[in-house]
Amino acid sequence: MKDIIIIGAGTAGLTAGIYAARAGKSALILESTAYGGQIINTPDIENYPGIAHISGFDFAQKLHDQALALGVEIDFGTVTAVQDDRAEKKVVTSGGKTYSCRAVILATGAKNRHLGIDREKELTGRGISYCATCDGMFFRGKDVAVNGGGNTALGDALYLAAICRKVYLIHRREQFRGAEADAEKLRKLENVEFVLNSTVTRLNGEKDLESIEVTRKDTGEVRMIPVSALFVAIGQTPDNAAFASLVQLDEKGYIVAGEDCHTSREGIFTAGDCRTKSLRQLTTAASDGAVAATAACEYIDRL
């Protein structure tokens, strides 16, 4: 039996592992895909205190290596249920494995939001992408578009502007939600065009994406933009359905928890983007990991 099982190997989960291990507890992280979480898709991190610049991939790799060096274990599998039998909790994966532990930290992050328009699924991997750093190089020298106005969209547009011929940044409002410093950098680039107050309303192309239809929200004016790729960066949604009967979720599916990272159930803690919070950033995910692990250690010591 492990002391703590952490579900999710993103920034919050890996940080929780580091804190648990340093507190002398055995910790296992269960991850459904690849370790690192959302940050591996961020080309440049420039807002993590003490690190002026690092790529998301390098950051995640360092975090992973640090956790493993401290004795944290990582196993792969999608968690389908957590059973709570007071001092013993059982974590079940889709592969049929069951793990036992004393405390659980839910650090499941969030997954990419989709546009929800016709042919989006069919053209995914054929011009539609949710990860500029993963797929940007396929469109080197081509014209591409980014949809969104948050930090991800701005970062993606900057990254793509350096390798693509032209980048259209399509956002549904006039103001960006992401950092002004990045918006300012984009304004200075000659190969970046802002298409504001607009949404993507249609995807065109026989086999691969060839153009997108963009509609202005105020005038209804429709514009066809020829692009080889559309990078969708319109935020994330949580994926906590498996825990709906375990802990309280809010109306959007986030795990209800305050800054102490306690959930509605004793011995189950939560960290990072999967919980209710006002600021979802790398720093707050790392902070949650530390808080949740410390709370879990204190809980175990009281058992």
**228 touches ligand NAP (CB under 6 A):** no
Stretch that binds ligand NAP, among 21-29, 41-49, 69-77, 89-97 (CB under 6 A): 41-49
In the complex, residue closest to ligand NAP by CB:
150
Cβ proximity to ligand NAP, 199 vs 294, nearer residue:
199
CB of 42 to ligand NAP, least distance (A): 5
CB of 115 to ligand NAP, least distance (A): 6
CB of 300 to ligand NAP, least distance (A): 31
- Please give the sequence-ordered ranges of beta strands (E in DSSP) within the chain, or none if there are none: 2-7, 27-31, 73-76, 79-85, 88-93, 98-106, 110-112, 128-129, 143-147, 166-170, 192-195, 198-204, 211-216, 222-226, 229-232, 236-238, 268-270
Subset of residues 76 to 135 that bind ligand NAP, contact rule: CB under 6 A: 113
CB of 65 to ligand NAP, least distance (A): 21
Cβ proximity to ligand NAP, 282 vs 296, nearer residue:
282
Residue 77 host element (H or E):
none
Secondary structure (DSSP) of 105-157? EE---EEEPP---TTHHHHBTTTEES-HHHHGGGGTTSEEEEE--SHHHHHHH
Helices and strands of the chain, counted as H and E runs: 7, 17
Site string for ligand NAP, 264-283 (x = CB under 6 A): ----------------xxx-
**235 touches ligand NAP (CB under 6 A):** yes
Stretch that binds ligand NAP, among 4-12, 150-158, 207-215, 246-254 (CB under 6 A): 150-158
For residue 241, the 8-state DSSP code is G
**47 touches ligand NAP (CB under 6 A):** yes
CB of 236 to ligand NAP, least distance (A): 6
Integer angstrom CA distances of residue 2 from 12, 167, 253: 19, 49, 28
CA distance 20 to 251: 31
**42 touches ligand NAP (CB under 6 A):** yes
**173 touches ligand NAP (CB under 6 A):** yes
Do residues 191 and 142 lie in contact, with contact meaning Cβ atoms separated by under 8 Å?
no
Subset of residues 186 to 215 that bind ligand NAP, contact rule: CB under 6 A: 199
Q: Which of the residues are catalytic? A: 131, 134-135
Do residues 167 and 160 lie in contact, with contact meaning Cβ atoms separated by under 8 Å?
yes
Which residues, other chains included, contact 297 with Cβ-Cβ below 8 Å and sequence gap of 6+?
3, 4, 19, 20, 23, 25
**155 touches ligand NAP (CB under 6 A):** yes
Alpha carbon 50 to chain centroid, angstroms: 22
Instruction: Report the residue count for the chain.
Output: 303
Q: Which 3 state secondary structure label does DSSP give 19?
A: helix
How many residues make contact with ligand NAP (CB under 6 A)? 23
Stretch that binds ligand NAP, among 126-134, 135-143, 148-156, 212-220 (CB under 6 A): 148-156
Contact footprint for ligand NAP (CB under 6 A): 42, 45, 47, 113, 148-153, 155, 172-173, 177-178, 199, 233-236, 280-282
